[in-house]
Structure 1
Amino acid sequence: MALGSYVVLFGGGRPVGERVRAYLISAIGLVLAVASGMVVGGSTWWTLAAYLVVSVVAVLVTRLVDPGPPGPYFFVLMLGGGTLLTGTGLGIPMTAAYLALGSALAIAAGSLDALLLERGRSRPASAPVPAGPTGPPTWVVLVRVLVAVTASVMVSVARGDTHPFWGVLVVVLVLSYPGDEGRLTVRAVSRIVGALVGIALFTPLARVHLGTAGYVALLCVLLWCVARVTAHNYLVGSVVITLLALAISVPLSPNEGPGELATARGVDTIVAGAIAVAVIWVIRTTRERRP
């Protein structure tokens, strides 16, 4: 149910109709991504195929339909969550039911403030939105993602990492962002530095026993910070994202201690970040313009 509630991160600040549309798109993608992860979990090559398919579809959906932040990385993250759920004994129908219930609660909670605002007063005219950074065409993004995801998963396989989603997540986070080579390189470096800082902060936090209520409260605080900070300062946002992802991964990875998990994720981030930077500068197009 907690995973289902993640759909509330989409559609922020939009009118009710657009917001619910974004919620529904993300909820459907959530269920499909988690179910796919549960199907392929344990198989290296099927897992690679699933990451390639979900990454491409997620990039296309967010570019063509634009449900808003957090963008394609959300669906890749949920595919990884599904692979972790493989060994829990839960079946796909039961898992999908819990995900759907969590999504329904999130849609209700996430739409409430917009409904109250629209009923209480008329919405002011929206100010013109300044043009964002000009990025490469969709086909370039897809080629970069395919090459980088394949390389990242292959490195994970060579290292014996059975859950390569962290590296794939870094690749998609960097390469799906609009911007020229310089902007994307800064984003990759910010991700690496932010992840390392987040791991350093997580190490002492992992030793504290919070209990169920404290754990849920921590996730809520981290989710709020991710939603508020990431769009304004990606370096700080990467720190919070790392803390959130590690906090979620620990109970889903009982065979790995928090320190071992954090170390492996740090290596994944450095390797995937380097792969992303290499792909950015090797696969280029003359159609890219610098803002």
Structure 2
Amino acid sequence: MWVRSLVSFAPAPAPRWPMALQAALSMFVPVGLFTLLGHPSVGLMAASGAFTVIYVAWATPAQRIRILPVIGLALLVCAALGAVVAPWPAVAAIGLVVVAIVSSALHYGYRLGPPGPLFFVLVYGLATHVTAVVGGKRVVDPLLFLAAFAAGVAIAYLIAVVAAVIMHSVRRPDPDSVRRLPRTPSLDADSRALLVRVAIVAVLGTLLSVLLVDTARAYWTVCAGLAVIGVNAGRRAAFVRGNQRLVGTVVGAGLFAGLAFLPIPVWLLPFLLGGLQYVVEILVVRNYALALVFITPLVLIITSTAGAASGVVTTALILERVVDTLVGALLGAASGIVHPRRARVG
């Protein structure tokens, strides 16, 4: 069953190109702008703010205009927390667990849907990585990173606003089909099971990294696990979708390994990242395994080179990312055991 799911394509519930175009532009514009200004590494830091625009794709244009600033602010808070605790690896590891659990509780409680809480944890980890202390000083000034990230969020929101205005003028939503967020967060049985899985992955993934590997790599292990968990409840769904994510993430890490050794000119990077983001958004609702083949190198390019002093991706770094991905994805898939057999398939 799960093998077939790796190569099958589900029908898209709605045309995906508008969301894919917004996501691609939100990635392309900040990277391209800062590259033209002679600061490509700053552009990569700003590019992580583009994750704002991929949330609440189900919402009406008017709803997106209201909700996305809150999403962007939440992402910025996670980034700020990561930058604050970056000098203290032990504190950053504890913060990783706390951010994963709290952001997931709020995400599931407010029923935000795909892409899940992954990117809140990712930007926290990216902030700790980029602004870490090496040789007695920060790799990147925290204020520079947060300013670049905030610029990326603002650019993504402006693109979403323009798209919302255009879409609202073309097609008005049916009032009976409008979905509303709850006023206060609440967790049903499925959401509680997902939150337990997040806690398991966050705690075990962080402990394994701290005790056996490297504290600085814990965030990627946890993020790989969260990519597996997603927002699907039910034991059968957990293992089928978990295997999809496991295979897609590992293959995507291999694609990153291939791209890392290509002599990609700086001016091509905005097109590469924007193109990857577009493909991801087109595929994500049809075949998640295939989507992860492209989202994994996208995220790894950003996390591995944003703010890097040398900008060089080594073989050791690639192997580290592959190992961390494998461990996290296995933890995420195995955590599906917490769902009872009678649980609803999400």
TM bucket normalised to smaller: 0.7 to 0.9
User: Are the counterparts in 2 of residues 25 and 67 from structure 1 also a CA contact under 8 Å?
Assistant: no
User: Are the counterparts in 2 of residues 52 and 150 from structure 1 also a CA contact under 8 Å?
Assistant: yes
Q: Which residue of 2 aligns with 1:118?
A: 168
User: Are the counterparts in 1 of residues 194 and 233 from structure 2 also a CA contact under 8 Å?
Assistant: no
User: Are the counterparts in 2 of residues 136 and 285 from structure 1 also a CA contact under 8 Å?
Assistant: no
Question: Aligned partners of 2:140, 2:251: CA distance in 1, in Å?
Answer: 34
Q: CA RMSD in A?
A: 2.6
Change (3 A) 1:121 1:40: closer
Change (3 A) 1:101 1:290: closer
Q: Counterparts in 2 of 1:113-262, with a 5 A limit?
A: 113-120=163-170, 122-123=172-173, 136-161=189-214, 162-252=216-306, 257-262=313-318
1:126, distance to aligned residue in structure 2 (A): 6.5
Aligned length, in residue pairs: 285
- Give the TM-score of the pair, scaled to structure 2: 0.74
Q: Which residue of 1 aligns with 2:332?
A: 276
1:257 corresponds to which letter in structure 2? V
Change (3 A) 1:22 1:260: farther
Unaligned 5+ runs, structure 1: 130-134
Question: Aligned partners of 1:3, 1:245: CA distance in 2, in Å?
Answer: 9
Q: Which residue of 2 aligns with 1:103?
A: 153
1:3 corresponds to which letter in structure 2? S
Greater relative contact order structure (CA < 8 Å, 6+ sep): 2
1:98, distance to aligned residue in structure 2 (A): 2.6
Change (3 A) 1:183 1:3: same
Q: After superposition, what is the alpha-carbon deviation per residue over 1:199-251, rounded to whole angstroms, capped at 9, x for unaligned? A: 32222321222222211111111111222212221110111111112211231
Change (3 A) 1:192 1:61: same
Change (3 A) 1:213 1:151: same
1:260, distance to aligned residue in structure 2 (A): 2.0
Q: What is the DSSP-based 3-state SS (H/G/I as helix, E as strand, rest coil) of the residue aligned with 2:208?
A: helix
1:26, distance to aligned residue in structure 2 (A): 1.7
User: Are the counterparts in 2 of residues 136 and 178 from structure 1 also a CA contact under 8 Å?
Assistant: no
Unaligned 5+ runs, structure 2: 1-45, 133-137, 180-187
- Give the TM-score of the pair, scaled to structure 1: 0.86
Question: Aligned partners of 1:81, 1:122: CA distance in 2, in Å?
Answer: 38
User: Are the counterparts in 1 of residues 53 and 68 from structure 2 also a CA contact under 8 Å?
Assistant: yes
Question: Aligned partners of 1:49, 1:103: CA distance in 2, in Å?
Answer: 26
